[in-house]
């Protein structure tokens, strides 16, 4: 069985080593290295095959946002999963905009962290339920969130495309979305390409951010 190769990045030694001990108990996870900041994680990723980076946000020298940016620019296939104690909307958005596959809190259960690693490795967006309101509130603090009808008028999105955006933000794969909507996986892929074009977005992560900020995810 091929294992998911991960590295753990945190400036606190006890957290790094504790996570390694716990995550190493899962038979399909292999912890390759422990790094103390984003720069060291980036350097390790340049020299080794890494599937998922479990990354803290606030670290001296090179924080998780910059570390994510460096790693994703080097190899966009590497998934970065942010793990932190800080429910900070600015950090959340910056990390996601720089290519992070998701954002979990350190007080999450180990099974949730393990599930997040698996989901990120599979290409899904992972966002802790407590964090979603942070993304929504920041956008709507100056007034009501844009109504779906108005949003469709402004963007040209169809009802089907709105639903697909919602399901992407809920973490579903193209196959799962297709099964739920009784459409082929190829049709879902084509719709996502159209969505990216209409919204001038780069990838699924930005689609998820769009959904959160426009209050499309409940």
The whole-angstrom distance between residue 32's C-alpha and the CA centroid of its chain comes to: 21
User: Is the residue at 95 inside a domain?
Assistant: yes
> How many domains is the chain partitioned into structurally?
2
pLDDT, tens digit, 9 for 90 and up, residues 90-127: 777 788 788 888 888 888 888 889 988 998 898 887 87
Whether residues 86 and 122 fall in one domain = yes
Whether residues 140 and 126 fall in one domain = no
Nearest to 95 by CA among 70, 124, 60, 121: 70
Nearest to 102 by CA among 119, 85, 77: 119
pLDDT, tens digit, 9 for 90 and up, residues 11-63: 999 999 999 999 999 999 999 999 999 999 999 999 999 999 999 988 988 99
User: Is the residue at 218 inside a domain?
Assistant: no
Please give the model's pTM, rounded to 2 decimal places. 0.67
Structural domain boundaries, residue 54: 4-130
Could you tell me if 168 and 204 are in contact, meaning their C-beta atoms sit under 8 angstroms apart? Answer: yes
User: Is the residue at 114 inside a domain?
Assistant: yes
pLDDT of residue 136: 53
């Amino acid at each position: 069985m091929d294992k998911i190769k991960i590295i753990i990045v945190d400036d606190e030694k006890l957290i790094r080593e504790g996570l390694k001990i716990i995550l190493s108990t899962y038979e399909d996870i292999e912890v390759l290295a422990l790094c103390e900041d984003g720069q060291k994680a980036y350097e390790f990723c340049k020299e080794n095959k890494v599937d998922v980076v479990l990354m803290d946000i606030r670290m001296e020298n090179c924080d998780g946002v910059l570390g994510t940016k460096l790693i994703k620019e080097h190899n966009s296939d590497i998934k970065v999963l942010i793990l932190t104690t800080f429910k900070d909307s600015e950090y959340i958005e910056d990390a996601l905009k720089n290519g992070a596959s998701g954002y979990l809190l350190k007080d999450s259960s180990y099974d949730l962290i393990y599930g997040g690693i698996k989901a990120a490795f599979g290409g899904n967006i992972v966002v802790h339920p407590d964090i979603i309101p942070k993304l929504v509130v920041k956008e709507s603090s100056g007034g009501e969130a844009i109504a779906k009808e108005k949003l469709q008028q402004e963007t040209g999105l169809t009802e089907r495309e709105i639903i697909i955006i919602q399901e992407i933000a809920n973490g579903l794969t193209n196959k799962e979305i297709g099964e739920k909507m009784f459409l082929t996986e190829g049709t879902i892929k084509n719709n996502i390409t159209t969505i990216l074009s209409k919204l001038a977005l780069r990838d699924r992560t930005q689609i998820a951010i769009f959904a959160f900020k426009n209050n499309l995810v409940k």
